[in-house]
Amino acid sequence: MSTGERGSLAGAAVHRSDFPNSDLRGKNGTATGAPIASRVHERFRSCPPNEVVRAAHDAMLASDWDRLRLILHPYLHWTAADGSRLRGRTKVMDRLQNAAPPAEPVAVELRDGQIYRWQEPPNGRFQQQ
């Protein structure tokens, strides 16, 4: 089949502007469909970074995994005290659920109001007692 018979293959692509009243449009390119998670996510978006870190660390200490999941970015980069690295919220959550809570981080990066990078102090230094 030639492109002349059916039009340009590129012309067949559907653009977001084709659905001006559609619920399919995401905010900042994110997927929609989780209104409760979106409200919690928006709450943390406007918080100062130290409050987001405190909320995440408190959730870890309390084993509040549902709350923590909303605070951690899906593509999270985690550096443990021993220097090992994990990528992805699911892998980090699994580690946290099966280990002692980490110390507060020495470095953190936020993206879209969620924790994107977390670096534990080397060898557990600076842990709260």
* Domain residue ranges of the chain, discontinuous segments joined by +: 34-124
Burial class (CB in 10 A: 0-12, 13-18, 19+), 18: exposed
pLDDT score, position 125: 52
| Mean of pLDDT values over 72-83 | 95
Binning pLDDT at 50, 70 and 90, where does residue 50 land?
Answer: confident
pLDDT score, position 59: 97
pLDDT score, position 99: 92
The more confident residue out of 63 and 9 is 63
Write down the architecture of domain 34-124 according to CATH.
Roll (3.10)
The 114-119 sheet, strands edge to edge? 85-87, 72-79, 114-119, 107-111
Numbers of helices and strands, H then E, in the chain: 5, 4
In order of 12, 30, 38, 75, the CA distances from 33 in angstroms are 26, 10, 9, 19
The more confident residue out of 125 and 90 is 90
pTM of the model: 0.62
